[in-house]
Amino acid sequence: EHLALWGGRFSSGPSPELARLSKSTQFDWRLADDDIAGSRAHARALGRAGLLTADELQRMEAALDELQRRVDSGEFTPIEDDEDEATALERGLLEIAGDELGGKLRAGRSRNDQIATLIRMWMRRHARVVANQLLNLADALLVQAKEAGHTVMPGRTHMQHAQPVLLAHQLMAHVWPLLRDVERLRDWDKRVDASPYGSGALAGNTLGLEPVAVARELGFTNVTENSIDGTASRDLVAEFSFIMAMAGVDISRLSEEIIIWNTQEFGFVRLDDAYSTGSSIMPQKKNPDIAELARGKAGRLIGDLTGLLATLKGLPTAYARDLQEDKEAVFDQVDTLEVLLPAFTGMIRTMTFNTERLEQQAPTGFALATDIAEWLVKNGVPFRHAHELSGACVKAAESRGVELWDLTDDDFIEIFRGFVEPDVAVNVREVLSTEGSVAARAGKGGTAPNRVREQIMSAKTLIEQL
């Protein structure tokens, strides 16, 4: 049995230790459907090349149908002796079609070009699933942004109050990276849209098979231009893996924000009970586990990528068995994201904001100091001085333990003396409101309500296009 693939020059089968090491069916069996699709296309290529008669081709296709049926029903699964999914399926085909006919299918292909094709097919299919899940998450954020209306919140840099922003603006800041991840997947798909089938082990095939037709049947527009590259390169797997890791990191950054917003001290957001967990000992606890798992899983998504890159780094350019290691990395990433994203999106859709608290916190911590400086600029003060005068306002307020708007008219007149006339100085109050502050940031991409509305519209259009 174990001699099925390469018995000729060997006097014994693999040692049990080798067989155990070499075996990959425990993770590559999920490529079985793609493998059978490849076999169907390959059988037809053999037929067109005159290497299978019309009758043989028909029987071969019937045998592959039966094999697919047995795989679907679970009747046929890999056994201990099968090295990989391809070995197992070959055994299954021989059982159904007999050695004579079944043994003809292997002509002109190698597991090297097969596996390189199958991983592409698998990634392309799951790229669409993950992209749709990412779009759902982007949509959930967008809906929250719409509902947030004109609610303002403290915008932070270095985690310190910086300038007030619309809650919608902050939420939308997480939408754009997710949409770029989806765009990356769409763009990657153009590069991966080439089939290595027909590359053989590395040099191509002698049998006059047409790889173009096989490629088309497997959903590819093109055939790889170089059979060595087709079988040995894994940059497209690494690129896919990067996009998965990047999406994980983008979700992790949003998670971190939600975890902080959800603390008692912040109290900005409330998570729905169905998307929170409790504690086995502390009855009062309600924990943001989904966000924490997302943040944690970003670590393993990055690990999968770095492991893969490390595997590829020293490889000479043609197939080496190391390349088998590519699969678990991307399988793990896709499995992780496909389970994580629906839960995460549910959490986002159902969370509610404490808008009163957000509004109340928004201008505190002297978050309107920039507005004072820019008001001074509009009144003819060079920014260098304006920055200092506004800083002096902060200093005065801080020393008295009050906020900027608590300073008196006399305070402003005194601080601005020599730069702004007293009757003008008191008008600085115009900009000492969060509403005025956000409305003033009206350039494209700014947090002014009408700009944010435009932003939401263009994100919506993009989500529909993607």
Using CB under 6 A, list all residues that contact ligand ARG.
24, 28, 84, 111-112, 115, 319, 321, 323-324
Question: Smaller CB distance to ligand ARG: residue 68 or 311?
Answer: 311
Residue 158 bears catalytic tag: yes
Q: Which of 236, 255, 241 is nearest to 332 (CA)?
A: 241
> Whole-angstrom Cα distance, residue 241 to residue 194?
18
Give the CA distances from residue 310 to residues 238, 240, 305, in Å, rounded to whole numbers and listed in that order.
10, 15, 9
Please report how close the Cβ of residue 307 comes to ligand ARG at its closest, in angstroms. 15
Phi, psi of 407, deg, nearest 5: -65, 150
Question: Smaller CB distance to ligand ARG: residue 77 or 408?
Answer: 77
Please report how close the Cβ of residue 115 comes to ligand ARG at its closest, in angstroms. 4
341 and 133 in contact (C-beta within 8 Å)? yes
Question: Smaller CB distance to ligand ARG: residue 315 or 413?
Answer: 315
Instruction: Output the CA torsion 260→266→268→274 (10° steps).
Output: 60
Please report how close the Cβ of residue 120 comes to ligand ARG at its closest, in angstroms. 13
Quick one: tokens of 248?
Answer: 């994980």
Question: Smaller CB distance to ligand ARG: residue 234 or 387?
Answer: 234
Q: Which of 430, 431, 391, 396 is nearest to 410 (CA)?
A: 396
Please report how close the Cβ of residue 27 comes to ligand ARG at its closest, in angstroms. 9
Task: Give me the catalytic one of 15, 73, 158, 399.
Answer: 158
DSSP sequence for 82-124: --SHHHHHHHHHHHHHHHHHHTTTTTT--HHHHHHHHHHHHHH
Please report how close the Cβ of residue 185 comes to ligand ARG at its closest, in angstroms. 23
Question: Smaller CB distance to ligand ARG: residue 34 or 84?
Answer: 84
Angle at 76 between CA 71 and CA 40, to 5 degrees: 45
Quick one: tokens of 47?
Answer: 């037929």
Please report how close the Cβ of residue 72 comes to ligand ARG at its closest, in angstroms. 22
Question: Smaller CB distance to ligand ARG: residue 83 or 181?
Answer: 83
Q: Which residues of 294-325 are buried (b: 16+ CB within 10 A; e: fewer)?
A: bbebbeebbebbebbeebbeeeeeebeeebbe
Residue 399 bears catalytic tag: no
110 and 207 in contact (C-beta within 8 Å)? no
Residues with a catalytic annotation lie at: 158, 279
